[in-house]
Amino acid sequence: MIDYRIKPVEGFTQKIGELVSMLQHTRAVTLEEIKGLSQKELDFLTDESANSIGTLLLHIASIEFVHQVISFEGRDLNEEELQEWKAPLELGPSARDSICNLSIGHYLDKLSQVRGRTISLLKNTGDQWLQEENEWGNGIPYNNYYLWFHVMEDEINHRGQIRAIKRQLSRQ
């Protein structure tokens, strides 16, 4: 059952617990949206330049993974990580060609693995960690709170795309 309250999660500091609550809610709604989709539905393309639901799900996982690396390790992806995550991160033709013929279980496992690591890493932080700042390569500052807001924002955005694809599927 989806909880419609933002409240601290036990085992975390106040704000980190609230962040975990928001991450959990965002994911619960996404999982409800994709429940029971077939491989054919996961691979469906609305046109030749579109992304499939499966591709969007791996993109959601990839964005979270990248933000783990940036916020917890203070670095960019290494070559091995880039090899695994580049197609779902960038979306487009490479993702369309390489992300298909996978079961719902595959996508659920990836989402779960990445989220499990996020929760584990967040347990070792405190509220002050959210305000820690860094700079992008172009000199623009950001803080960890923004990075994790963006993880949710990105998932919610792509969930909207998933809903639009499902509407088109229902017309097939």
CATH for 130: 1.20.120.450
Q: Which pLDDT band holds residue 52 (cuts at 50, 70, 90)?
A: very high
pLDDT of 105 above 80: yes
Average pLDDT over residues 154-166: 97
Average pLDDT over residues 38-60: 96
The counts of H helices and E strands in the chain are 8, 2
pLDDT mean across residues, the chain? 96
In a domain, 18, yes or no: yes
Instruction: Give the domain extent around 142.
Output: 14-170
What percent of the chain is helix, strand and coil (3-state, nearest 5)?
70, 5, 30
Largest Cα–Cα distance of the chain, in whole Å?
50
In a domain, 8, yes or no: no
In a domain, 25, yes or no: yes
pLDDT of 172 above 80: no
Please give the tally of structural domains in the chain. Answer: 1
Q: Residue holding tokens 């990445």?
A: 114
In a domain, 29, yes or no: yes
CA–CA distance, 111 with 119 (Å, rounded to integer): 12
pLDDT of residue 1: 78
> What letter does residue 99 receive in the DSSP assignment?
S
In a domain, 113, yes or no: yes
**pLDDT, tens digit, for every residue of 10-32?**
999 999 999 999 999 999 999 99
